[in-house]
Copies of this chain bind each other. A is one copy, B any other.
């Protein structure tokens, strides 16, 4: 069936034969045809409609998903033992680069919290975070002794919009030391900005050693 689609024997948008017909044609069980149809539909190659039958997709779906995880769960799901280490936690004036990204017009005091997430005792992610105290006032007196800023925010401050940026960078001196890599090694960086009903909550830069792989299946 995949070959027929590829070779345009079944053209984009065309209705394909029913399951019984295909089962006879391919000399296999109807359940096998059904499974193959399901898989092709999951991949966006076919479009199935309950009554209208199955058609070849006009524009095969090219969408993948990835989860926005709590870093503790991400590490534990990979079988690692999770720990985190608080590096600093203070209220201070945010740099313009941060306030600008968050759409704030004036420089202001924000919570600046930095920590290291470890998997099996090895550095996994360095989190450098700014939090808008107007949006989340109750975070001001949190000590982050038992819960990381990442997990605290996920459980206390739901967001409605987010922007996520992925890029590659070279490790700066302090960052390299924290991550246990050489200066100017590559690091995999995720930046995340979250908002709740237009109000900025947080800007976070999460960097990982160059060996890090972000994997997603489709």
The answer, among B42, B49, B64, B184, for a CB contact under 8 Å with A164, is: B64
A-B CB contact pairs (8 Å), 24 listed: A2-B196, A40-B197, A42-B67, A42-B77, A44-B67, A45-B158, A50-B81, A57-B73, A59-B70, A59-B154, A60-B158, A63-B67, A64-B68, A66-B66, A161-B218, A163-B216, A163-B218, A164-B216, A164-B218, A165-B215, A166-B166, A169-B186, A170-B186, A170-B210
Q: Which residues of B contact A167 (CB under 8 A)?
A: 168, 188, 210, 212-214
Copies in the assembly, this chain: 2
A69 is an interface residue with CB less than 8 A from chain B: yes
Closest beta carbon of chain B to A48's beta carbon, Å:
6
Determine the distance from Cα of A164 to Cα of B76 in the docked complex, in whole angstroms: 21
**Chain B proximity mask over A25-41: 1 for CB below 8 Å, otherwise 0:** 00000000000100111
- Specify the main secondary structure of chain A where it touches its partner: mixed
Interface size class of A (residues with CB under 8 A): 35 or more
**Chain B proximity mask over A49-67: 1 for CB below 8 Å, otherwise 0:** 1100000011111111111
In this complex, the member of A65, A162, A168, A197 whose beta carbon has the largest number of chain B beta carbons within 10 angstroms is A168
A97 is an interface residue with CB less than 8 A from chain B: no
Q: Is the CB of B63 within 8 A of A65?
A: yes
A206 is an interface residue with CB less than 8 A from chain B: no
Q: Which residues of B contact A131 (CB under 8 A)?
A: none
**Chain B proximity mask over A79-118: 1 for CB below 8 Å, otherwise 0:** 1010000000000000000000000000000000000000
Determine the distance from Cα of A211 to Cα of B140 in the docked complex, in whole angstroms: 35
Residue in chain B with minimal CB distance to A189: B168
A24 is an interface residue with CB less than 8 A from chain B: no
Determine the distance from Cα of A167 to Cα of B69 in the docked complex, in whole angstroms: 17
The answer, among B2, B66, B68, for a CB contact under 8 Å with A197, is: B2
Q: Is the CB of A138 within 8 A of B210?
A: no
